[in-house]
Amino acid sequence: MMEYERLQAKKVLVLGLAKSGVAAAELLHRLGAFVTVNDAKPFDANSEAQELLSKGITVICGRHPEDLLDEGFELVVKNPGIPYTNPIVADAIAKGLPVITEIELAYLVSEAPFIGITGSNGKTTTTTLLFEMLKVGRLKPLIAGNIGTVACGVAAEAKADEVIVTELSSFQLMGTREFRPHIAILTNLYEAHLDYHGTFEEYAEAKFGVTRNQTADDYFIYNADQEVVAKYAQKSKAKLIPFTTKGHANEGISADKENIYWQGDAILKRDNIVLPGEHNLENILCAVAAALLQQCPVEAIEEVLGTFAGVRHRTQFVREWQGRKIYNDSKATNVLATKSALAAFEQPIVLLAGGLDRGHSFEELRKEMTRVKAVVAFGETALRFIEFAKSCGITNIVRAIDVEDAVGYGAKMSEEGDIILLSPACASWDQHASFEIRGDLFIDRVMKLS
């Protein structure tokens, strides 16, 4: 960990616990700050707060006192999920206090450089792909951020010859001031999290934070196929690395049906790539470009692309069964994600879909439903999805009880050469606590097919 004295003896408020809050509080305490943690969960049921108290950290639990900021804090580190409309956060900003997220803290103490990856879709796949490439290339990568490992915990132990591959949400990036990754990636921009940000413009500005502090010594990999992203890229001071899936380009990284090109030269054959889908090609181009900029051997990149079958629950190849290939895309909790999954395959698809009924339309799927030969619908939206499938001209349709029941129907309704795809287009909360649980149940049932 880098010697960092700017926080020594400073009064710091950590607002909200969970993994990021705990890691931030522990790191701040280690740096010599006077730390107070405030969390809504009552102390008696708050094991994280109890652990922090045992380490000498002040904890205030069960409520957010209106006069909390009267304690004379000099910095607020907030949980990324807490909105800026929160009274304490708004009051801190009004008082001129810096409000950051733990990713900023991680950057300030890290000896290792960062690679920052953000975008509306594809962050996790890109982050995982890049990490695997650098690992095979023996370049000492660490993985952190929104992907599940708290960045400041990783950064505190990182060495100068390592590199931290970091998945970043808009929530995290809004809480940065000095954060400057050596390589930044913006995969794409679509309307998302407007309940948090209010407008698409604020959301996009938050995402642009991944490159805002970069200089000409850094690199910004961006989606040249999206006008809104290309427009933002022109504001970056970094060396620009555009990517396009629309064919051979002479700059940046590009792809046609046969090859991937780096600065105009063919470097990889596409027929060696395991991960399916045009949307995943975007992720692959981002990861390959960043790996090359990190001096990763092409042989290591090629090895990963020939074996990487997808992140768990994201168009993840599960197994081949009696000539059918079965994929788990439980992470597809909205129509846009399912649309991308359907577009990834040329073979006939038996689609397993349904879940929590939020009343949203399935109409955006209509064009891609021409790829679907049969539908198994389940969950609260089952009847609505069945009616939609019928309107698309699909006649081979059945209603299942749940995702496990759907697997059996999918097996019976499919033929050799088909794709069996779980891509629900709905959240899981009508029947399961998370899309991960739904996906795990699907995988377990698929592995039991005889």
Interval 288-328: pLDDT, tens? 999 999 999 999 999 999 999 777 788 888 999 999 999 99
Does 121 count as an annotated binding residue?
yes
- State the sign of the Cα–Cα–Cα–Cα dihedral 33, 106, 121, 324: negative
In the sheet that holds 316-321, the strands lie side by side as: 316-321, 324-328, 419-422, 349-353, 372-377, 397-399
What pLDDT does 66 receive? 84
Res. 1 pLDDT band, cuts 50 70 90: low
Does 58 count as an annotated binding residue?
no
Does 307 count as an annotated binding residue?
no
Query: Beta partners for 317?
Result: 327
What pLDDT does 327 receive? 95
Query: In this model, does residue 148 exceed pLDDT 70?
Result: no
Query: In this model, does residue 340 exceed pLDDT 70?
Result: yes
Query: In this model, does residue 7 exceed pLDDT 90?
Result: no
Does 310 count as an annotated binding residue?
no
What pLDDT does 3 receive? 59
Is 34 within 8 Å of 10 (Cβ atoms)? yes
Is 312 within 8 Å of 333 (Cβ atoms)? no
What pLDDT does 231 receive? 92
What pLDDT does 52 receive? 94
d(CA 168, CA 185): 10
Interval 403-449: pLDDT, tens? 999 999 999 999 999 999 999 999 999 999 999 999 999 999 999 99
Of 160, 163, 122, 159, residue with least CA distance to 144: 163
What pLDDT does 64 receive? 86
Does 283 count as an annotated binding residue?
no
Interval 70-115: pLDDT, tens? 989 999 999 988 999 999 999 999 999 999 999 999 999 999 999 9
Domains of the chain (ranges plus CATH)?
11-100 (3.40.50.720), 103-305 (3.40.1190.10), 316-447 (3.90.190.20)
What pLDDT does 192 receive? 67
Interval 193-225: pLDDT, tens? 777 778 888 998 999 999 999 999 999 999 999
* 124, two tokens: 């996790």
Chain-centroid distance, C-alpha 400: 30
Q: For all residues of the chain together, what is the average pLDDT?
A: 93
Interval 264-295: pLDDT, tens? 999 999 998 988 877 789 999 999 999 999 99
Lowest mean pLDDT, pick from 235-239, 247-251, 279-283: 279-283
d(CA 217, CA 414): 53
Does 119 count as an annotated binding residue?
yes
What pLDDT does 2 receive? 60
Does 396 count as an annotated binding residue?
no
Of 12, 11, 10, 15, residue with least CA distance to 61: 15
Is 16 within 8 Å of 78 (Cβ atoms)? yes
